[in-house]
Amino acid sequence: MKITKAAKRAIKSSPALCVLAASLVAMPLSARSADRPNVLLIICDDLNDYIEGFGGHPQAQTPNMARLARSGVSFTQAHCNIPICGPSRASLFTGIYPHNSGCFGFTKWNGYEILKNSRTLMDHFRANGYRTLGTGKLMHHMVRQEWEVFGKPSDYGPFAHDGEQKLAHPGVPAPYREIGAVDGSFGPLVNLAGRKSPGGKTLIWQTGGWAKQRELRVNTQDDRDLTADELNGQWAVDQLQAQANKKGSDPFFMGVGFIRPHTPLIVPKRFFEMFPLDTIKLPDIRKGDVDDTHARSVRAIPGGAEPNASRTEDMGTHLFNTLVKSYKSRDDALRHFIQAYLASIASVDEQIGRILDVIDNSSLKENTIIVLTSDHGWGMGEKDYLYKNSLWQESTRVPLILRAPGIGKAAGVATQPVSLIDIYPTLIDLCGLDGRTTKNKKGHPLDGHSLKPLLENPVQGKWSGPDSALTTLYKWRMKYNPSQENYSLRTDNWRYIRYENGKEELYSTREDPHEWTNLADHPDHTATLQKFRRQLSKRIPSSQSKVPPQPAFKLKTVAAKQPAAKGDAGAWKDKYFSMHPQADRNKDGKLTWPEYKAHKAALDALQSRGAKPKIKP
């Protein structure tokens, strides 16, 4: 801190100013803006534990994530608070549980009264003197004013395009490819010369946000345009290099959101070549494992009368069954998908390595906190389920690595169950910021707890947080009642699940890490079950509690406004289909425009009457 000559003279003439000056000089480094640590938050999309050091897949190749782990602390039982993109990210970046905000679904997060009156993580850092920079997919609904500088918007591409609509990768067989250009697509990014759509049309690669698309040129593996993740990686590298060259500037908070391994799992061919198909090892899957579970009892879509004439499968079951139907065997189907998933993770790891190289070879190394995580996990065929949005380990568990120079123990491993809700208060604690994050009385304070004690001592640190990680489940609803949703508690040795219909699951995770045997109906575990019932009742609102204010339901908050361009209309319809799979009236895996119009009309009619639709994706 520099003091001018005039200020020095004023201080000498005033005893009170002398005391103030002395206190400023003695102020801890973390409390002075110029000396506060920088923060880099890297979040991947749909990344489960398939990274080195987390035990998810023995063939994972993530040397750069492993490098970060060697210099920081790995939280091997970190869990998301709701296992689907939009509400998970809303909870992470606001530090508020869904049951306290009311945000369980895809309505824009800043439409919720509690969330719009509470500061996001980046907004709070900016209010405390940080320069905030972001790029890629961070919060599911972008609010530009939350960031001082923003790079690239979310881009789920590349997609194969036939001149009229987006299609799945041409290498994906039917019927899986008919699911659509997002969830039904995976394969290497190669030259499409000579490749045709099923209708015989010439294909090109296309990428971009939902509103604006551009061609992605791929001549050869070395002569092509950069993918969205590569562009975000380059943007982050450029910004970090610029920050490293600045002297005496304000600290920065940077968010980098990578889209992979979210579908479509399309990355350069060389990443697929790292995982030869015939060598892919499959996860441990127990035949009939789904039989003693109850998720389908709250998610199954009944067939029958309008507007419910649809398949009887939830999304994860539908993806799994359709993938298996598309190949000669279940094992062959999973090998193809897992190869694409591992390749996608390896492609992101390369970008993380480029970012780490800049930090570790510059002045940023000793004063930059790095957080690496994901919004939720992904099931890979366990319990006949291929998707996120379950309350089982595969969906709820996320990688979490935190490097805090001078505080965190290098190569530390913490097994205490924690969750994404704890990231916000941890960064406030590490950076010495004001902990008041509400804008006014309509906001809500942070729900999580600082992980700093576990960074300092991963094994025996005295953490103030709860013994269990709390996760809730997304379901499509017009309104959410927090006391009547689906929840999971994950402790060191147990997972407890309570569904909205009262059915329960209980797993002894120490003895049964795959969660194969549901013990909820075993008399020997009645006391354990009752203990978890009491724990859950203390953590979520009672049935008499007031439901948090929620935005009025509008269809446009679930699916984006239809683009004007003809080519984008197909993509928009695919997006609507992914949110409303039951709109496929003839169950052929495709959503036609007449089917869309009929479904939307029925939904609008229910909404206009103020009724709660029976439609459940």
Question: 324 phi and psi, to 5 degrees?
Answer: -60, -40
Is 617 inside a domain boundary?
no
**CA angle, 483 then 485 then 486, to 5°:** 130
Is 585 inside a domain boundary?
yes
d(CA 587, CA 254): 44
Is residue 331 predicted with pLDDT exceeding 70? yes
Q: Containing H/E element for 90?
A: helix 85-94
Q: What is the pLDDT of residue 392?
A: 98
* Identity of the residue numbered 82: I
Q: At 588, is the pLDDT very low, low, confident or very high (cuts 50, 70, 90)?
A: low
Q: Which residues contact residue 305 at a Cβ distance below 8 angstroms, ignoring those fewer than 6 apart?
A: none
Closest CA to 140 of 260, 266, 257, 263: 257
Q: What is the pLDDT of residue 574?
A: 65
Q: Range with the lowest mean pLDDT among 237-241, 280-284, 610-614? A: 610-614
605 vs 257: which has the higher pLDDT: 257
Q: At 569, is the pLDDT very low, low, confident or very high (cuts 50, 70, 90)?
A: low
Domain total of the chain: 2
The residue-averaged pLDDT of 144-173 equals 96
Is residue 444 predicted with pLDDT exceeding 90? yes
Q: What is the pLDDT of residue 544?
A: 75
Q: At 567, is the pLDDT very low, low, confident or very high (cuts 50, 70, 90)?
A: very low
What rounded mean pLDDT belongs to the chain?
88
391 with 517, same domain: the answer is yes
**CA angle, 486 then 492 then 496, to 5°:** 25
* Identity of the residue numbered 497: I
Is residue 557 predicted with pLDDT exceeding 60? no
Is 170 inside a domain boundary?
yes
Q: What is the pLDDT of residue 614?
A: 42
Joined tokens for residue 218: 């791929």
15 with 82, same domain: the answer is no
d(CA 521, CA 577): 37
Q: At 564, is the pLDDT very low, low, confident or very high (cuts 50, 70, 90)?
A: very low
Quick one: the chain helix, strand, coil %, rounded to 5? 35, 15, 50
Joined tokens for residue 155: 């881009």
- Could you identify the residue written with the tokens 């003895």? 511
Q: At 96, is the pLDDT very low, low, confident or very high (cuts 50, 70, 90)?
A: very high
CB contact at 8 A, 301 and 313: yes
Is residue 554 predicted with pLDDT exceeding 60? no
Q: What is the pLDDT of residue 307?
A: 32
155 with 246, same domain: the answer is yes
CB contact at 8 A, 308 and 598: no
d(CA 93, CA 109): 10
**DSSP states of 465-502:** S-SSEEEE-----SS--GGGS-EEEE-SSEEEEE-TTS
Sign of CA dihedral 147, 152, 153, 154: negative
Is residue 414 predicted with pLDDT exceeding 80? yes
Is residue 214 predicted with pLDDT exceeding 90? yes
Is residue 491 predicted with pLDDT exceeding 80? yes
Is 613 inside a domain boundary?
no
Q: At 375, is the pLDDT very low, low, confident or very high (cuts 50, 70, 90)?
A: very high
d(CA 474, CA 102): 11
Strand 418-419 versus strand 469-472 pairing type = unpaired
Is residue 615 predicted with pLDDT exceeding 60? no
Cα dihedral value 50, 56, 57, 61, nearest 10: 40
197 with 247, same domain: the answer is yes
Is residue 268 predicted with pLDDT exceeding 60? yes
431 with 464, same domain: the answer is yes
d(CA 604, CA 574): 19
212 vs 312: which has the higher pLDDT: 212
Q: Helix/strand/coil (H, E, C) string of 502-554?
A: CCEEEEECCCCCCCCCCCCCCHHHHHHHHHHHHHHHHHCCCCCCCCCCCCCCC
Is 615 inside a domain boundary?
no
Strand 418-419 versus strand 78-79 pairing type = parallel
Residue 608: exposure state from Cβ atoms within 10 A (0-12, 13-18, ≥19): exposed
Closest CA to 507 of 283, 287, 293, 291: 293
Is 156 inside a domain boundary?
yes
Cα dihedral value 274, 276, 281, 285, nearest 10: 110
d(CA 20, CA 136): 43
Strands of 36-158, DSSP E: 38-44, 73-75, 78-79, 131-136, 149-150
448 with 336, same domain: the answer is yes
Residue 571: exposure state from Cβ atoms within 10 A (0-12, 13-18, ≥19): buried
The residue-averaged pLDDT of 592-600 equals 70
Q: What is the pLDDT of residue 477?
A: 86
Is 372 inside a domain boundary?
yes
Closest CA to 67 of 52, 48, 49: 52
Q: What is the pLDDT of residue 227?
A: 98
CATH assignment at residue 44: 3.40.720.10
Residue 287 has, within 13 A of its CA and on its CB side, a CA count of 2
pLDDT (tens digit per residue) in 66-77: 999 999 999 999
**CA angle, 236 then 242 then 244, to 5°:** 100
The residue-averaged pLDDT of 231-241 equals 98
Q: At 603, is the pLDDT very low, low, confident or very high (cuts 50, 70, 90)?
A: low
CB contact at 8 A, 37 and 371: no
6 with 113, same domain: the answer is no
Residue 600 has, within 13 A of its CA and on its CB side, a CA count of 15
Q: Domain residues for 25?
A: 1-31
CB contact at 8 A, 75 and 86: no
119 with 1, same domain: the answer is no
Q: At 6, is the pLDDT very low, low, confident or very high (cuts 50, 70, 90)?
A: very low
467 vs 26: which has the higher pLDDT: 467
Is 240 inside a domain boundary?
yes
18 with 81, same domain: the answer is no
26 with 53, same domain: the answer is no
23 with 76, same domain: the answer is no
Closest CA to 320 of 385, 382, 375, 383: 385
417 with 351, same domain: the answer is yes
The residue-averaged pLDDT of 109-128 equals 97
CB contact at 8 A, 419 and 471: yes
pLDDT (tens digit per residue) in 288-313: 999 999 999 997 654 432 333 344 68
562 vs 590: which has the higher pLDDT: 590
The residue-averaged pLDDT of 173-182 equals 96
Cα dihedral value 304, 306, 307, 312, nearest 10: 10
320 vs 14: which has the higher pLDDT: 320
**DSSP states of 353-371:** HHHHHHHHTSTTGGGEEEE
Instruction: Please give the share of the chain, as a percent, with pLDDT higher than 90.
Output: 77
